[in-house]
Every structure is written in structure tokens, then in C-alpha cells.
Structure 1
């Protein structure tokens, strides 16, 4: 597996958004982002909340809550389970 060597992006918009549909690695064949990367990026970008909408499971819920409790206390995580 290769490592990322590109430029790290920032969200410099004054009015921050709440992303209401993000898939993580737990959505098979649909995303490559880990829940830790998602929560840390949202926190670094100043987002107040993010919705994890993985397909057919909610296995990231415990990892997401552990990450929020330990390092990113300002983030609210919304969980959605998509059955399709």
C-alpha cells in the first residue's frame, strides 16, 4: 500500500458545513477513508458534525465515539444505516 505524498487540503470557508453522507472503509468497495481520518479531518477543518452513512452496517460507531471522546470533543457524529 502506498503512502500519501500530496498536499494536505484545508477548509478555509467561513460558514462551515455539516457533511450528511460520508462512507468509511466499512462500506465495502465504496470508500477508502478510515473513521479516525474522517473525524480528525472534520475536526481540523472546523466542522461541528459529520454523518457516517456506511452501507449495511454501523460497525464504525464504537471507533468514531472513541475518537471523539479521546481527541475531537467538538465533533458530533450522526450515524445512519443504509440498507441498499
Structure 2
């Protein structure tokens, strides 16, 4: 089953949450907390992508992993010295 097309607003929201979770020192805890808040607020229309059975979850997961890889990727030496 293919994911429904996401609006620009939905993509932006998903990317922000994925970035937050990836940058957090304990991303698993942050993600668990966000899922708990989703259950409490029942705002599935806005935050449903956090649930593994949601059609936009694969996009969220892709964004989270991409951000984690970006964070872990070592910066080239030339770029590191240019920042100084």
C-alpha cells in the first residue's frame, strides 16, 4: 500500500519532528514520549505519522534516519578548517 501524498505542511511537520528526535540524546525516549502524547491528545490527524501503522510513518522514519546519518557523518577536513 502506497502512502497518501503529504501536503507541504505535513512534510514540514514530519521533518521537524524527525530532526528533533534524531538530535535528541535519547531519541527513543523522545519518540516514546511523543507517541504517548499522541494517545493522550488523540490528535491523529496532526501527529498520527508517529504510529507505525500510519501511511506516512515510512516517510517519518526515512527523515529520522536521514537526519541521524547527517549528524553522524564526519565533516570533511576542508569544511572544518573553513569554519575557524
TM-score calculated relative to the size of structure 1: 0.36
Higher normalized contact order (CA 8 Å, seq sep 6+, divided by chain length): 2
More helix by share: 2
Instruction: Say which one has the larger Rg.
Output: 2
